[in-house]
Structure 1
Amino acid sequence: MKNIGYILLFFVSMCFMSCEREYMPPPLTEPQYKGKAANITIKQLKDRYATLTAPTLIEEELIFKGIVTGNDESGNIYKQIYVQDETAAINIGVEQNAVYGRFQVGQEVFVNLKDLYILKYGGELQIGLSTTNANRISWLDFQEKVQLNSWPNPANAIPKVIELNKLTDEMVNQLVEVKDIRFSNGGKNPFSSKDATTNEEIKNKDGNVMIVRTSNYSNFSQDMLPLGNGGLVGILGRFNGTWQLLLRTSRDIKSFDGQEPEGNKPVSGSFFKETFGKGTYPSGNRPKINDFKDFDMKAPVKYTEELGSADVRSVSGDNGAHVWLPANKESNLKITGINTRDKGDVTLNFQLTANLFDATAAANLNQIQVKVNGKLMNIPSKEVSNAAGDNNKWYTISIPNIEQSNNVTIEFISKSDLNKVGFRLDNIELIGGAAGQEVIIVKGDKKR
């Protein structure tokens, strides 16, 4: 009877598939794995290769057993499957469309890693072939390396219930469920724009947020984001340190109540802070902004400096790094991708110190200009000088009433005709629910 059911599934699926997608029918007899026993768990595998920096060929015959938890059924996952055991999860790339017909959710598989590669993408480990397009394994090799065992059973793929503020490394790529959350743009936006993969924000009652990432090729991309409180199931990913949820199909959307919020609880306190880390960058090792990799804030936040003048430095006795804006040169540190929506009244804080080494050196802190979404901020005059003891003294500048937007751009601009001494910039911070009435400048020690 099971075989008859699978045959019917095959013909029904073929009727509804578009001509552009290939479909892999399920096997007609119950698969039985007859290879070697598993000798490693997914966590043990990931621990073994945690520090790799380049794609690495697996020469040892390592075999793990797991359950398929994610595939390309809706098109939101593309040319890969996610496999999970009781310890961890990992994704495997395959050069084939519509693999979901054969590798269904709940399917037990044995994965032989010999002659495959383990590599990092976005800072996270995955399995593939480094010598192929996008590291994907050919369909022929994939079926040899990833073998089915028994019929798929959806009950094998049970999501782990998580809280947005309690995420750990072991959860990367696992099937999870989040409850009592709402979409910030629920009832307003579709899951994705028509021409690009789109990030939408969910948040819980405490103001913790996460990205839900949806491909414009998924079959639910133009569905409206649900309104109100509800739950979601999906694959919990992490890209360059930023957590994101990947829905497998529209069935992963669970029971939203459709109610408008009585009032969003704004996130109070600091929600963005860039310190440029605690690394040391002496002369000869001062990366330019476009080359620097150790920013505190990760994607979708992006840092650029078009003119290549500013760099990251450290000075003796200082606690960590800062940005150096050199004298007599044009430089422009631009930070994009900051979300200030639903954060209450937002204040921008940052710290400046002028290079006043010479006894007669003097400057004004407003010689470093600031723009928010292209609008020049009004920073009051504040003279500093060596004679007044201001050399290497840090000042905190606070700018209130920052624009509410999903994508705020902040620019720190140094002009060659204004900056004649050189400035150090550090501790760029955005604070929600704490805006004052005017720009203030406070002298104080540098704090991290």
Structure 2
Amino acid sequence: MKKLKIITMAAVCALFASCMGDSYAEPDANAPAPFGNNELTETNVITIAQLKSRYATYLATDYRDGDSYAKVADDIKIKGIVTSSDADGNIYQELALQDATGAVIVAVAQGGLHGSLPVGTEVLVSLKDLYVGNYGKQAEIGVPTTNKNGATFVGRMSRFTWDRHCKILSTGNKVEPAEFAVGSNVTTWSLDADGGRLGILRNVSFKSSNNPKVDSTFADANGGAGSVSWTLNEQDGKKVIVYNSNFAKFANSRIPAGKVDITGIFKRFNNQWEILIRSLDDIKSAEKTDPFKGLPGKGDGTQGRPLDITRALAYAKLNKKDATPYYIKGIISQIDEVSLKYGNARYCLSDDGTTANQLQVFRGFYLNGDKFTSASQISVGKKVVILGTLDYYEATSTPQVGKGSKIISIN
């Protein structure tokens, strides 16, 4: 009897398998996406930058001062690639979308968005009848939301509304974070244009949190609704913070010691950058980068290997707004002014002492940073090593050593 039951069950299984056929075993890769509105077409598509330009007035208005959002009446659409993930709970009920021109946040009252819209998914968004506005000056797409105080601003749309307005175009697109800054360098990103982008801040270290109870973890897993923000040693804490939700899966993980590279969504909150990491994989030990890689000339800017003028000129012309002081060697080729009133000098350096391919030294000081007391302390033809920052004076298109440099040696 037992043997008969086994044979019968095997026959039933074989019957079901034959009925299911090949289509069950091998899904159709060309079938429409099971999420979103597959009826949407790629017509009237504008860039994210163009969208921000159209609604610039609303994006710049605080909700307490006037209308901070507007309904989209035209049949326009945007395309963007998802760069955010809510899998670890640090990003909540929103998506960060970006194209080649900028980024925008889409507010959706739905959890688990990473399931249907993982990082690298390209979506088409129909904007007609949605609202474009800002939350803390961060550009956002959603619907009007009223808080407990009666103030209205753009907030989360329902998942049903979102489902009608989006279409998945492709998946698996690779998105590389753009460089926000390195170390203590000031970023060149624009709060208006770049808020919401996927970025990376290199070679920084954690300083302190805004919560006296939290001194070694990202957030407080037992703190309830809320967040913990961390400042960084190398960046202005009033301008750049790392924002962590108490509900993030990594809330009670320890803050790493030493220098790290931080990848995340760089959101705007008024005049501050908030970095939202998506998971602990977004924080890695700092990679050593060579800012002079590929540039002509010699040197790495250290005292043992100062930059020659060829390389210093090439780097200054990049206009990276780098606040790092570098050692630079050259021959004084021209002296424009030695100010005994202010104790500084304006002169030029070149590799060969001629006036070709000169680097201007703007208001530099004498040995060890002392003030000049005599014009004869420097002269054309002298070989010097100086320590100063490299920048590019855009008004006159002049690569230069910024003011405040000092001579290390002269002979």
TM-score (norm 2): 0.52
| Corresponding residue of 1:320 | none
Match for residue 177 of structure 2 among 159, 164, 183: 159
Q: Cα gap change, 1:61/1:245 in structure 2, threshold over 3 Å: closer, same or farther? A: same
Distance apart, 1:50 and its partner CA: 1.1
Q: For residue 191 of structure 1, what is the aligned residue in structure 2? A: 218
Change (3 A) 1:221 1:119: same
Partners in 2 of 1:6 and 1:68 — Cα distance?
25
Q: Residues 36 and 166 of structure 2 are in contact (CA less than 8 Å); yes or no, is this contact kept in structure 1?
A: no
Structure 1 residue identity aligned to 2:170? S
* Whole-Å separation in 1 of the counterparts to 2:45 and 2:249: 38
Corresponding residue of 1:36:
42
Q: Is the 2:239–2:272 Cα contact (8 Å) retained in structure 1? A: no
CA deviation map 1:133-165 (0-9, x unaligned) = 872111112122121012233x1x210012151
Alignment of 1:248 with 2:278, yes or no, is yes
Distance 2:218 2:268 in 1: 19
**One-letter amino acid of the structure 1 residue matched with residue 200 of structure 2:** E
1:15-414 pair list within 5 angstroms:
35-52=41-58, 53=61, 54=67, 55-130=69-144, 135-153=155-173, 155=174, 157-163=175-181, 165-166=186-187, 167-169=189-191, 170-185=193-208, 188-194=215-221, 195=223, 196-204=226-234, 210-255=240-285
| Rounded Cα–Cα distance in structure 1 between residues aligned with 2:82 and 2:169 | 11
Runs (5+) with no aligned partner, structure 1: 8-25, 258-448
8 Å CA contact 2:33–2:168 kept in 1: the answer is no
Output the aligned Cα RMSD. Answer: 3.4
- Output the amino acid matched with 2:104: I
Q: State the alpha-carbon separation in 1 of the partners of residues 128 and 264 from structure 2.
A: 29
**Paired residue type of 2:156:** R
Q: Is the 8 A contact 2:196 2:267 kept in 1?
A: yes
Kindly provide the CA deviation profile for residues 140-197 of structure 1, in whole angstroms up to 9, marking residues without a partner as x: 12122121012233x1x21001215123132211000011111114995100123130
Q: How far apart are residue 243 of structure 1 and its match?
A: 1.4
Per-residue deviation, residues 374-418 of structure 1 (Å, max 9, x unmatched) = xxxxxxxxxxxxxxxxxxxxxxxxxxxxxxxxxxxxxxxxxxxxx
For structure 2, list consecutive stretches of 5 or more residues without a partner in the other structure: 1-23, 62-66, 148-153, 288-411
Partner of 2:151: none
For 2:36 and 2:158, the matched residues in 1 are separated by 24
Indicate conservation of the 8 Å contact 1:74/1:219, yes or no.
yes
Give, in whole Å, the separation in 2 of the partners of 1:119 and 1:205. Answer: 29
Verify the 8 A CA contact 1:174 1:236 in the aligned structure 2: yes
**2:35–2:167 Cα contact (<8 Å) kept:** no
Q: 1:29 to 1:62 in 2, by over 3 A?
A: closer
- Distance in 2 between residues matched to 1:160 and 1:31, nearest whole Å: 31
1:299 corresponding residue in structure 2? none
Percent identity, aligned pairs only, is: 32
Residue by residue over 1:287-337, the C-alpha shift from the partner in whole angstroms, topping out at 9 and shown as x without a partner, is xxxxxxxxxxxxxxxxxxxxxxxxxxxxxxxxxxxxxxxxxxxxxxxxxxx
Q: 1:229 to 1:207 in 2, by over 3 A?
A: farther
4+ runs deviating over 6 angstroms = 3-7, 28-33, 205-209
TM-score by length of 1: 0.48
Decide whether aligned partners of structure 1 residues 74 and 205 sit closer, same or farther in structure 2, where only a CA change above 3 A counts. closer
How far off is 1:237 after superposition?
A: 1.2
**Comparing both structures, which one devotes a greater share of its residues to helix?**
2
> SS where residue 245 of structure 1 aligns?
strand
Q: How many pairs were matched up?
A: 236
Query: Which residue does 2:307 correspond to in 1?
Result: none
Paired with 1:32 and 1:144, the residues of 2 have a C-alpha distance of 9
Deviation at 1:244, TM superposition (A): 1.5
Deviation at 1:210, TM superposition (A): 2.1
Letter in 2 for 1:158: E
The one-letter code of the counterpart of 1:126 is: E
**Is 1:203–1:210's contact at 8 Å kept on the other side of the alignment?**
no
1:112-146 superposed Cα distances (whole Å, 9 cap, x missing partner): 10000112211222100115787211111212212
Deviation at 1:254, TM superposition (A): 1.2
* C-alpha displacement of 1:46: 0.7
Checking the alignment, whether the CA contact within 8 Å between 1:232 and 1:253 is kept in structure 2 is yes
